Amino acid sequence: MGTVGVMSLAARDLPRRMTADEFLTATDELPRAQLIDGELVEAVNPPRSRHQQIVQRLLVSFATGLGPAGHGELWLPQGLRVDDANVFVPDLFWIRAGTTLDPDAHVLDSVPPLVIEVLSPSTRAHDTGPKLDGYLRAGVTEVWLVDPDTPTITVHHRGQAPTTLVAGDILTTPQIPDWEIDLTTLFA
């Protein structure tokens, strides 16, 4: 709760509309904020336990499934500069092996091939609307929208119709050969 108060105090002096460059100069003061369509959007509620549990299970699945194969890495939330009006913070994103990230950067300037958003009541409208559109427009190949409430995962491939998977289905991705997760396990 203290962090939310600090962000609100810092944001009070900032304009509600700004460019990505203006936002990035204020990011250190707004660690859980995003810029969506040029508008400053602060995270108000911390993620629910269910949300965090799904993120943790995905991390473990990727770590155990990707470690020996060396296909890439799954990263925790970090700013992602999408364009001049958008700096998003996805729940998770995957980068290919050999991709170098600046260890001191708090914002990624390159677009990852896979982004994962776990929907929450306070973020659903942004995640399924402007953020999804922004990711695909910027060149993200694949976006997963994980809905703990239904429980489903809707997979969006750039240029294709989305596919929705439910518990009992096996989620795979062309991004990572030989990786899969049973959604029954993910949503258990």
CB atoms within 10 A of CB 104: 5
Encode the chain (188 residues) as per-residue pLDDT tens digits: 333 333 343 455 566 777 887 777 776 555 567 778 878 777 656 677 888 899 889 888 887 765 545 677 777 777 888 888 888 889 888 888 777 777 777 777 788 999 999 998 888 999 999 999 999 999 999 999 999 999 999 999 998 999 999 999 999 998 888 888 999 999 98
The answer to whether residues 20 and 85 touch, using CB atoms and an 8 Å cutoff, is yes
Q: Give pLDDT, residue 52.
A: 87
Give the pLDDT of residue 17: 79
- The superfamily CATH assigns to domain 47-186 is tt1808, chain A (3.90.1570.10)
What's the order of all strands across the beta sheet hosting 107-108?
39-42, 33-36, 86-88, 79-83, 107-108
Give me the pLDDT at residue 77, please. 72
Per domain, the residue ranges of the chain are: 47-186
Q: Return the pLDDT at 6.
A: 35
Q: Which residues pair with 144 in a beta bridge?
A: 116, 155
**Statement: the pTM of the whole predicted model exceeds 0.85:** no
pLDDT the model gives residue 70: 64
